[in-house]
Structure 1
Amino acid sequence: MKYKRILLKLSGEALMGDQNYGIDPKKLNQYAQEIKKVKDLGTEIAIVIGGGNIYRGVQAETGGIDRVQGDYMGMLATLINAMALQSALEQNKMYTRLMSGFKVENVCEPFIRRRAIRHLEKGRIVIFGAGIGNPYFTTDSTASLRAIEIEAEVVLKGTRVDGVYTADPEKDKNATRYTTLSFQEAYEKNLSIMDMTAFTLCQENNLPIIVFDMNKSGNLEKLVMGEEIGTLITSK
């Protein structure tokens, strides 16, 4: 394996499948099976998942909800997704632990760095919910921060496209995919990969990011084994 310990970042929207909102059980099980392939290789896996399929704090202000309140509502949405993913993983015979950025003691553990690392060492998949527990931070920032804290070797950002493009490939048929990028190049080209806080955290800590298509079967496994899939962003 190329990577022994990874952090997988999934979007909440991906869980909708073909639905307009909510969670598609088929998509949830598909992701669980893809993760199991990697787990069976002996990879230590941590996961951060968004909540956009349920609620977005950033959009709350347009509906008259205070931004801070909206962000906390969004964090609770990520916990719902995390619990759903945890259930799907366990149904596929994997051991998991769900850790939250703030206390929700009836359903998960609070995030404690050393405990999270110990769970990984014992072969458990660790899911981080509720962001970092504070408003104004995205789940991208959570993924970067938690990856650094647990000493992951890479952040794997699973999306519905197969990497980073010169333009939106769904709108521009002439868009071309980058195979590799430096953090500086991504800044200069103003590419929307992660929010600035998340991106800067990865750059300052020399933590590579790979953007790839999570919906294509086998991609996650191939990445862990070292195949060049998606777009790699590094401090080169």
Structure 2
Amino acid sequence: MPKPTARSKNAKSLKPKYKRIVLKLSGEALKARGSMDNISPEIVHQVCTQIKEVHELGVEVAVVIGGGNIWRGLSAHHRGMERATADYMGMLATVINGLALQSALEQMGMTTRVHTAIRMDNVAEPFIRRRAIDQLNERKIVIFVAGTGNPFFSTDTTAALRANEIGAEVILKATKVDGIYTADPFKDPKATKYDRITYSEALGKRLSVMDSTAFSLCMDNKMPIIVFDMMKSDNIKRVVLGKAVGTLVTSE
């Protein structure tokens, strides 16, 4: 039997705050800034390295991935495309991103399963709630793609729906900013960051956390959301360990 490495010993000595999480990634997170390539293998590797580190802590990890780096249905609709068709195209873009994550994770020795809300049996298995839960219990990383399988719903809504379906304890919403602010920090230098905020406060202040459908689903089911900066190394691990990272949205 191989001897445990120092890294594995350290991982076992750390106690995560959450047992099962849903990590919500935007498609744009996989694209290098200023690059013409839709997917950066280097960034995918960095993201998957963080996922692996969290998984090694004993956390059950499910991932919901967007497709905005390849196709944005709403933008296409605004340019004249029929909305349902544009949204279905966006769902297919999420499948491409999910397969990229799967490939990188499995190259790192992780066991993964991709669940799609639109059947395509040659590349992924259809989403079945109980099967996904069983796979998480078996220490597999589950990647949810193709959104909810329905037009007019975002991948934020997918994250909220799947998190509640599989009994996750929290949604980790990875962004390019380090939390929720009183205003857009890129436009307003006076914007200040919230460390913690309630659902009702976020709604009352009209803060951009998730789209209204996703946010309402989280609020109704008391599903906490942590919004944090994915670009900083080890941030996913720090969130899972209960460190003060990003902004917590909760019912209290």
Q: What is the TM-score normalised by the length of structure 1?
A: 0.98
Q: How does 1:223-234 map to 2 (within 5 A)?
A: 223-234=239-250
Aligned to 1:81: 97
Aligned to 2:28: 13
Aligned to 2:185: 169
Verify: 1:3 aligned to 2:56, yes or no. Answer: no
State which structure, 1 or 2, has the greater radius of gyration over its C-alpha atoms. 2
Instruction: Name the CA distance, whole Å, in 2 between partners of 1:20 and 1:230.
Output: 30
Instruction: Name the CA distance, whole Å, in 1 between partners of 2:213 and 2:164.
Output: 13
Per the TM alignment, residue 80 of structure 1 is displaced from its structure 2 partner at its CA by 0.5
1:154-201 Cα distance to aligned partner (Å, 9 max, x none): 000001110001111112221110000000000000001100000000
Verify: 1:56 aligned to 2:56, yes or no. Answer: no
Alignment partner of 1:198 out of 205, 209, 214: 214
Structure 2 unaligned segments of length 5 or more: list them. 1-15
Is the contact between residue 56 and residue 74 of structure 1 (CA under 8 Å) also seen in structure 2?
Answer: yes
Instruction: Name the CA distance, whole Å, in 1 between partners of 2:90 and 2:32.
Output: 20
Is the contact between residue 140 and residue 194 of structure 1 (CA under 8 Å) also seen in structure 2?
Answer: yes
Aligned to 1:180: 196
Alignment partner of 2:108 out of 60, 67, 92: 92
Is the contact between residue 21 and residue 54 of structure 1 (CA under 8 Å) also seen in structure 2?
Answer: no
Instruction: Name the CA distance, whole Å, in 2 between partners of 1:65 and 1:104.
Output: 24
Instruction: Name the CA distance, whole Å, in 2 between partners of 1:61 and 1:214.
Output: 29
Aligned to 2:58: 42
- Read off the aligned partner of 2:218 and give its amino acid letter: C
Per the TM alignment, residue 64 of structure 1 is displaced from its structure 2 partner at its CA by 2.8
Instruction: Name the CA distance, whole Å, in 1 between partners of 2:79 and 2:188.
Output: 32
Moved more, 96-105 or 164-173: 164-173
Instruction: Name the CA distance, whole Å, in 2 between partners of 1:21 and 1:171.
Output: 27
Per the TM alignment, residue 63 of structure 1 is displaced from its structure 2 partner at its CA by 3.3
Structure 1 unaligned segments of length 5 or more: list them. none
- Read off the aligned partner of 1:4 and give its amino acid letter: K
Aligned to 1:31: 47
1:65-100 Cα distance to aligned partner (Å, 9 max, x none): 210000000000000000011111111111100000
Instruction: Name the CA distance, whole Å, in 2 between partners of 1:145 and 1:124.
Output: 20
- Read off the aligned partner of 1:153 and give its amino acid letter: E
Per the TM alignment, residue 20 of structure 1 is displaced from its structure 2 partner at its CA by 4.5
Q: How does 1:151-170 map to 2 (within 5 A)?
A: 151-170=167-186
Instruction: Give me the identity figure in percent.
Output: 58
Q: What is the TM-score normalised by the length of structure 2?
A: 0.92
Verify: 1:134 aligned to 2:142, yes or no. Answer: no
Moved more, 89-98 or 58-67: 58-67
Moved more, 122-131 or 21-30: 21-30
Per the TM alignment, residue 37 of structure 1 is displaced from its structure 2 partner at its CA by 0.7
Kindly report the root-mean-square deviation, in angstroms, between the aligned alpha carbons of the 2 structures.
Answer: 0.8
Aligned to 2:12: none
Corresponding residue pairs, total: 236
